[in-house]
Amino acid sequence: MGSYILTLPFEIIAQIFVFCLPPEDDALPWRTEAPLLLAGICRHWRDAAMATHELWNTVHLSLRPRSVLKVAPLLDFWIPRAGNLPLSMSLIYKGAEWNLEVTDPEAPQRKLEALLKEYAPHWTSIELMPPFPTRALLASPDKDLASLKRLVLRYGPWAPSGNQLARGFSQAPRLRELHMISGSPTILALPWEQLTTLRLDNSAPVECVRTLALVPNLVNFTATIWTASPAPSIPPLTRLESLTFNLSHTRGPALLNSLTLPALHHLDLDIEDVREITSVTSLTTRSPCFLRSLSIRVGTHWTADYFLQLFSALDLLEDLDLRKAAKSVDIGLVLLKMQPHLLPNLRTLSIRRASAAHEDAELLADLLESRWNVPETVSLPVQMTAFRLDSPLVEVSDLDRSAVLRLARLRKEGMDIQIRLSFYLWFPMSLRPNVH
């Protein structure tokens, strides 16, 4: 094979070698991965790999203090082989490292700072975990970060004091995504008007609101909120389309009361009680937004009134994802079956069970049939076309066999039904290929 490939035109060999590259998010590869692996096969392969500039113009670095001291020779070997192709470089720096024995403890910091400056025009993504160079963050960059699109910072002891701003990333004309882990993003001097994606972890509602007020063109916002303090209202975020609150039960929904999101299409959050449902329905009324996709974690004690209040406010909803759904979700399914005017535009329904449960196959079959074969007496603008069920344990008794057959028939008629079960207590082998 090694000699045969050398009979191909160089352009074909180069393309084959490019297909051997690891995924883009992998760190700078070891000798067991392309392109270093290709260059180590034989002299002819080495010559071909060295002459293929596309193998060398992308660099992904994952560094710790020890490795940042050693990366310069590798980059000196790697980067010249990109020829005249534009470089694309990404960096992940994890400052903490045990048993680091160096004569000068500040040497890794200086090396990282020099690395950031030397390749400033080529960084496309930078992730810095503390400790990292304070001076590189506080001082304005000597060169524009002309290619930087994504920035991830975890706060450490470097945080500026008083009114001092961190200006290290202020000159980044292509920056679109910011991810902050702890601390206050407002101490960063950034081109805020450019950002379209923002993620804040370990943040307070007040800090979220202050940051959101700086980002007028935000499209996607994700937050992990650990306090429930109230936050002031801010002007409408006219471009925000997707909003996600992680691990924020009783905190994320409360923040909704401070926001007006007329362009909101997707919402993802946990809801436990009726007050949190009210914050969602109030948002859709206040904005008003046309919510198309909703992903929620249904509370254990949800009643029919809870579901009714939520569903009644979401006439335009097309995709409903019920995450870690408790048994109470069946109450909502009964409502959707009995009252077709609820969620009239629903096209896709997903249920992801939190724990083992006996699935009510009859209920599922009744609901899907009612939304697939819509009676003439019912005026529904669309029919449901897709259903997903992800359950860790399903028991299907003899009484459920007819319901399973009905689900298989719906799938045969064209409804996209996907049921993933971790364990079968009883399920007919003949039906498993039809409902999977």
Mean pLDDT of 88-114: 79
Please check whether residue 141 lies inside any domain of the structure: no
CB atoms near residue 225 (< 10 Å)? 26
Please check whether residue 86 lies inside any domain of the structure: no
Find the range with the poorest average confidence among 149-158, 222-231, 418-427. 418-427
Full domain range(s) for residue 284: 206-291
Report whether pLDDT(430) > 70: no
Please check whether residue 367 lies inside any domain of the structure: yes
Residues 272 and 386 grouped into a single domain: no
> 75 near 56, Cβ under 8 Å?
no
Report whether pLDDT(273) > 70: yes
Instruction: Locate 212 and state its tokens.
Output: 């959101």
The predicted model scores a pTM of 0.84
Report the mean per-residue pLDDT for the chain: 83
Residues 349 and 278 grouped into a single domain: no
Residues 419 and 322 grouped into a single domain: yes
The pLDDT score that the predictor gives to residue 265 is 96
The pLDDT score that the predictor gives to residue 436 is 43
Q: Which of 276, 291, 306 delimits the end of a domain?
A: 291
Report whether pLDDT(356) > 80: no
Instruction: Report the candidate in 391, 332, 336 with the shortest Cα–Cα distance to residue 359.
Output: 391
Rounded to an integer, what is the distance from CA 358 to the centroid of its chain? 31
120-143 pLDDT, tens digit per residue, is 999 999 998 877 777 777 777 778
227-240 pLDDT, tens digit per residue, is 777 788 899 999 99
Residues 343 and 398 grouped into a single domain: yes
The pLDDT score that the predictor gives to residue 435 is 44
Residues 244 and 351 grouped into a single domain: no
Report whether pLDDT(428) > 60: no
Look at the chain and report how many structural domains it folds into: 2
> 225 near 205, Cβ under 8 Å?
yes
Please check whether residue 326 lies inside any domain of the structure: yes
Residues 340 and 406 grouped into a single domain: yes
Residues 356 and 398 grouped into a single domain: yes
Please check whether residue 84 lies inside any domain of the structure: no
> 48 near 41, Cβ under 8 Å?
no
Residues 340 and 387 grouped into a single domain: yes
Q: Which of 235, 256, 291 delimits the end of a domain?
A: 291
The pLDDT score that the predictor gives to residue 216 is 93
371-389 pLDDT, tens digit per residue, is 998 776 667 788 899 999 8
Residues 322 and 426 grouped into a single domain: yes
Find the range with the poorest average confidence among 35-39, 171-175, 213-217, 273-277. 35-39
